[in-house]
Each structure stands twice: as structure tokens, then as C-alpha cells.
Structure 1
Amino acid sequence: MTGTRRYNAVAMTLHWLIAIAIIGMIFFGWWAGDLPNSTQKLNYFQIHKSVGLTILVLSVARLIWRLTHKTPPYPEQMKAWEKTAATAVHWAFYVLIIAMPLAGWLMVSSSPLGIPTRFFFLFEWPHLPILPGLPRDTKETLDAVFENVHSKMAWVILALLALHVGAALKHQFVERIDLLQRMIPIPFSKK
């Protein structure tokens, strides 16, 4: 497969950094959420929020990169509906990798607890405007809505991930379409 049929290094780096961070964050968030309330739990959530904001920044950068750089074509052996489905899943991921950390930021900003976000314990990351100044009952309602949306997106991401990885492996190993070369950083050959 030629270099023009592969994503460039920036796209690959952002893809793998964001993918690993999101998967880790989902399980870390679930684990930390089940801990008893303590200072340590608050510190874990400061890390969770910091990584989430980093994912948001990287995801916006990835979307900008995607909109300004041509992607390699799908292999000709893929059926038209498979290409359409793959494109739809990719765009769903773009929406989710931005919407999920944004929902977390909205949740933190509307929390009636008003706990500041200490970005990797270095400085205070601001809450989104307007939300912290709302009446307590409104903040409680919004906080619950944003928390629900944030947590449900984790399940959607995991379902899409299973579909994405399953399809890639099917194309690569069942249909023998050299698809993984597009996004695997180290080229390999079937030969």
C-alpha cells in the first residue's frame, strides 16, 4: 500500500492518543465514580476532568485537521454500503469525542457543588459562563441532565468502537483487504 493510501502521521497520532485516552477515561471514570467520597476521590476526578479537557482540545484539533486534509481512499474491494457505513461511524466518533468531554465540562460548570477544576493541579480551568450563576435548583437539574448525557455517551462510544474494530478486523483478516495499513503507525505487509 502506498503512502497516499495511508493517513498522515498527525492524523494517526491524534487518532491513537484520543482513542487510548477515551477508552481509559471511560473505565477510570466508572472506577472512580464507585469509590467512597474522599479527598482521594476528588483528586481522581481532578485528573479525570484534566484528561477530559485535554481530549476536548485534541479532538477539536483532530476535527480541524480532518476538515483541512484529504483522507486516503477506502480500498476498492469494499462495498459502497460499507464505505458509507464507515464514513458514518467516523463522523459519529467526531461528534462524540467532542460532545462527551463538552458534556463533562457542562456538568462540572453547572454543578451545585461549585468545585473548581484544577487542570493537572497546575491552574484553575474556568467553568463555562452563565451556568455557575444559575439558581441552585436549576443547576441541580442541569447537572443531572449533563451527567446522564455524559455517561450514556460512554456506552455509545464503546458500541461504536466494537463496530469499528470488528469491521476493520473483518476486512483485514476475513476479506484480506489491506485496511489496517491506513491507520497503523508501523507499516506491515501481508506478504
Structure 2
Amino acid sequence: MAGFSGTGSSRATLSRGERYSTVAIAFHWSIALLVIVNLVIGIGHDAIPFLRSLMGAHKAIGITVLVLTAGRVAWRLAHRPPALPAGTPAWEKGVAHATHWTLYLLMIAMPLTGWLMVSGPGPHRPMPWFGLFEIPTLPVGKGLADLGHDTHGVLGWLMAALVVLHIAAALRHHLILRDTVLTRIAPALRR
């Protein structure tokens, strides 16, 4: 495999301390895929009728993201991530950390505000989790349900912007700076 940084290091030669753990990598990519799918459904469901038909899956994916994020945050608090490459400016480290923790916060707040939104008073539609069991509604009044609705939409756009920023930063590290920031979170490839 070709080198990715100016020093010639590659994914195959990263030491264990330079890579995220297998568990962290699994959390990262599974949550990333689910978040992107849910952003597409959530943002596009008013304009594209097919996406509107996926709102049940959108809710189930949201609850899945909430549970996986709780696990991811617990894992992250107990396992230190690899350090950013030497020479990374302090401002860039600060932006990276702030972005990561804001993403974690949004991956909790988005499902919770969506859950509040569908839990308001009135007739409730079933909220099955991929047909396996029913997700209960939360005991909230109209005010909290309305707040959930309003907040969910705003947070969705913020999440979309941060996801684009996160992907752009990863690609900048990989394609322009040619360091190992992206490869340390990439799934290990077998030869």
C-alpha cells in the first residue's frame, strides 16, 4: 500500500497507539452511515415522496444512533484516542476537538428531539424499531413536543453542516497534508 504521509507511513505501518481501536472504528463508521442516511431522509422527505415513505425507518435509525452514540461516548471516555500528528497547530486541534464533541452532542440531541416531537399529545402512530418491537413515546405535553419539532429541524441542518466539515477536514488531511489522520480511523484492510 502506498504511503499516505510525507514520512512514508501507511495504514499497514501505523502502530496500535496511532490507530483508533477496532471498537471505536466500528462505532465511528456504523454511526456515520446511519447519520448520513437519516440526514438524507430527514432533509429530503418533504420534497421526495419516496423518502417520506421511509420516515418509520428514520425514527428507528434515530433511536439506533442514540444507543450507539451512548456506547461510543462511554468507549471514548474510557479509551484515549490517538494523538493528532506532531506539528498540528493548536487552533486546529481545538477545532477538531470542538467539532467531535459537538457531533457527539448532536448525535444525542437529534434523536431525543425527534422522540419528543413524535411523543406529543394526541393520536400516536406506532413507532416500531425495524418491526421488532415498539418504541414507547415519552410522557411529554404539547409544549415539549413542539419544542422538539422546532429544535430537531435546526439541529438537522447544523448536523449536516458539521458532517460536511468533518468529511472535508478528513479529506484535507488525506489528500493535501498526506498525513495519517484519516487512515487511523479507517477499517483495517487485510492483504
Q: Would you say same fold, with TM above 0.5?
A: yes
Where do residues 158-173 of structure 1 align in structure 2 (5 Å cutoff)? 158-173=160-175
Which whole-Å CA distance do the structure 2 matches of 1:50 and 1:168 have between them? 28
Separation of aligned partners in 2, 1:66 and 1:111:
37
Alpha-carbon shift at residue 3 of structure 1 (Å): 1.8
Indicate how the Cα distance of structure 1 residues 91 and 73 shifts in structure 2: closer, same or farther if over 3 A, else same. same
1:113 deviation in Å?
3.4
Q: 1:26 aligns with which of 26, 39, 48?
A: 39
Aligned equivalent of 1:96: 106
RMSD over equivalenced CA pairs, Å: 2.1
Q: Which has the higher contact order (CA 8 A, sep 6+)?
A: 2
Partner deviation per Cα, 1:48-105 (whole Å, 9 max, x = no partner): 1111111111111111111111111111021111111101100001100111011111
TM value normalised by structure 2 = 0.83
- The aligned residue for residue 151 of structure 2 is 149
**How far apart, CA to CA, are the structure 1 residues paired with 2:132 and 2:125?**
15
Is 1:17 aligned to residue 30 of structure 2? yes
Matching residue's letter, 2:63: L
Displacement of 1:13 after TM fit?
0.7
Q: Gapped runs of 5+ residues in structure 1? A: none
Q: Deviations over 1:7-66 (max 9, x none)?
A: 011101110111110111111123334466xxx95x632221111111111111111111
State the number of aligned residues.
Answer: 176
CA distance in 1: counterparts of 2:85 and 2:25, whole angstroms = 18
Taking structure 1 as reference, are residues 58 and 156 closer, same or farther at Cα in structure 2, changes over 3 Å only?
same
TM-score, scaled relative to structure 1:
0.83
Secondary structure of 1:110's aligned partner:
coil
Paired residues of 2:38 and 2:62 also in contact (CA < 8 A)? yes
Structure 1 or 2: larger helix share?
Answer: 1
CA separation of 1:35/1:171 partners in 2, compared to 1, >3 Å: closer, same or farther? closer
Q: Please state whether the residue corresponding to 2:128 is helix, strand or coil.
A: strand
Structure 2 CA distance for aligned equivalents of residues 81 and 176 of structure 1? 19
Percent of pairs with identical residues: 39
Map Cα deviations across residues 147-180 of structure 1 (whole Å, 9 max, x no partner): 1211211111111122212222222222222221
Question: Which sections of structure 2, spanning at least 5 residues, go unmatched?
Answer: 1-13
Match 1:78 to one of 78, 81, 88: 88
Superposition map of 1:34-73 within 5 A: 34=47, 44-73=54-83
Structure 1 residue 123: Cα displacement: 2.1
